[in-house]
A = this chain, B = another copy of it.
Amino acid sequence: MANQALTNPAVDFSEWYNEIVYRADLADQSPVRGCIIIKPYGYELWEGIKNALDKRFKATGHVNAYFPLFIPKSYLDREAHHVEGFSPELAVVTIGGGKELEEPLVVRPTSETIIGESMAKWIQSYRDLPLLLNQWANVVRWEMRTRPFLRTTEFLWQEGHTAHATEAEAEAETLQMLDVYADVAINEAAIPVIKGRKTETEKFAGALRTYTIEAMMGDKKALQSGTSHNLGQNFARAFNIQYLDRGNQLQTCWTTSWGMSTRMVGAVVMTHGDEKGLRLPPRLAPIQVVIVPIFKTDEEQSLVMAAVDGLKRALLDADIRVHVDTREQQPGFKFNDWEMRGVPVRLEIGPRDVAGGTVVAGRRDMPGKEGKRFLKQENIAPQVRDLLTEIQASMLAQATTFRDANTFDVKTYDEFRGVIEQGGFARVWFAGSDADLTKIKQETAATHRCTPLEQPGGSGTCFFTGQPADSVAIFARAY
């Protein structure tokens, strides 16, 4: 497989994506409709994202818990918008232990309802607030069209669920978690993201407001990469989540929820990948450094492998994730293979390097001569550490430059159509209605990605309606 050329992403990005996901062993197809198997290499990438998130959740005072996979159907019915939004996507268990169930159980598509029920029980007084929960779980949504990682029937995610005494605290929490997502995307995955607010039509079913981080993929399409919802009092009312305030008055809570999923694995692939395959940001790469020993004779082999062992030990001791490729293949094959798998740094070492006390380092983010340099074998760990830091920064810079170069401020619907057709984000003053959004989508296949939190200030003229507008919005075709 590895010697067959990848489809060029510039020619067919979608085909390239499917190929690389399977060839780089991130995932495999499964016998279950719309579900993938996450292979070890892909799972380790997810573990990196998971750990980065979990650390931040705990640092902001959240605790993990676990709620049942199954939700009684009647629970979903309690919040009208919620059930309307999720009903078409449900998987339903009707048989348990050989018998038809009296009340069908829904396989959770998300857990606001069943967690809401517990919140109502656990919260009595203002002393119990805020309640800051998170859950790592699998969820199921019966999707019509699926793509590995981006949209699968079952996926892994975390779902945060919090309850607060006031609207202001709930809003602050919603925005804080959006910041956490942006931090992980930018500083771990090297994916520049735009924080913004979703429109009424695009918000979560049952939410007051939905915030999102939007990223630009390699084909200039947008990917919603994490969302944070201020649920207002909608779920608190539906599930009687109430508390006694300091004056002993019964009050209704304000709740939030927020989620990031294995979709982020797809985001990493589509943001950084190129015609040679994956490019993984060092902070998340399951293998940060691959060592390729080069030798011809047995004597050379024992010389080289002794040096390799020393390098490996030094890197492991510095907590650098290193792999030595000892397969019986030609170096050229190995170079291509590890490039395809996106390993950030390749160390080549042959007899001459051993003699000279050097090793050749190659950068995945900067192929060819430009990315090559000699490192000293002595004190290898800090040199590699610096290189990894440099690559991480360079990948974020490359992705940011790409995103910015493909983001256009447009004033008219004609210009807008042009940008959308050629690919990229259109940044526009916008004051249109839901009906206008539907029309724009029908005519251009572009959707309103978000109203960025960071605004230019002042006001302008809506590109679509010609009416005065007081905020800009990002539009793009999206996954």
The oligomer's copy count stands at 2
Interface string of A113-129 (1 = CB under 8 A from B): 01001100110000000
Query: Please, could you name 13 A-B residue pairs with CB atoms under 8 Å apart, sorted by A?
Result: A31-B75, A31-B114, A31-B117, A32-B105, A35-B69, A40-B64, A69-B107, A69-B154, A90-B96, A91-B96, A93-B94, A96-B153, A97-B144
Q: Assess whether A65 is in contact with B92, with CB atoms less than 8 Å apart.
A: no
Checking B28, B35, B89 against A70 with a beta-carbon cut-off of 8 angstroms, the contacting residue is B35
Which 8 pairs across A and B sit closest by C-beta, in order of nearness?
A97-B142, A40-B63, A35-B68, A38-B66, A92-B95, A32-B68, A96-B142, A94-B94
Q: Assess whether A32 is in contact with B70, with CB atoms less than 8 Å apart.
A: yes
A28 to B133, CA, bound (A): 15
- A466 touches B (CB below 8 Å): no
Q: Assess whether B39 is in contact with A65, with CB atoms less than 8 Å apart.
A: yes
- A87 touches B (CB below 8 Å): yes
A70 to B44, CA, bound (A): 22
- A71 touches B (CB below 8 Å): yes
Enumerate chain A interface residues (CB-CB to B < 8 A): 28, 30-33, 35-40, 43-44, 46-47, 63-72, 75, 87-98, 104-105, 107, 114, 117-118, 121-122, 133, 137-138, 140, 142, 144, 153-154, 156
Q: How far is the CB of A55 from chain B (nearest CB, A)?
A: 13
**What chain B residues lie within 8 Å of A121 (beta carbons)?**
28
Q: How far is the CB of A161 from chain B (nearest CB, A)?
A: 12
Given contacts A65-B38, A65-B43, contact A32 B91 (CB under 8 A): no
Checking B33, B63, B68, B96 against A30 with a beta-carbon cut-off of 8 angstroms, the contacting residue is B68
**What chain B residues lie within 8 Å of A71 (beta carbons)?**
32
Checking B37, B63, B104, B138 against A65 with a beta-carbon cut-off of 8 angstroms, the contacting residue is B37
Given contacts A63-B40, A117-B31, contact A90 B94 (CB under 8 A): no
A342 to B95, CA, bound (A): 40
Q: Assess whether B138 is in contact with A69, with CB atoms less than 8 Å apart.
A: yes
A70 to B71, CA, bound (A): 17
Given contacts A31-B75, A117-B31, contact A68 B98 (CB under 8 A): no
**What chain B residues lie within 8 Å of A75 (beta carbons)?**
31
Residue of B nearest to A107 (CB): B93
**What chain B residues lie within 8 Å of A69 (beta carbons)?**
35, 107, 138, 140, 154
A39 to B138, CA, bound (A): 18
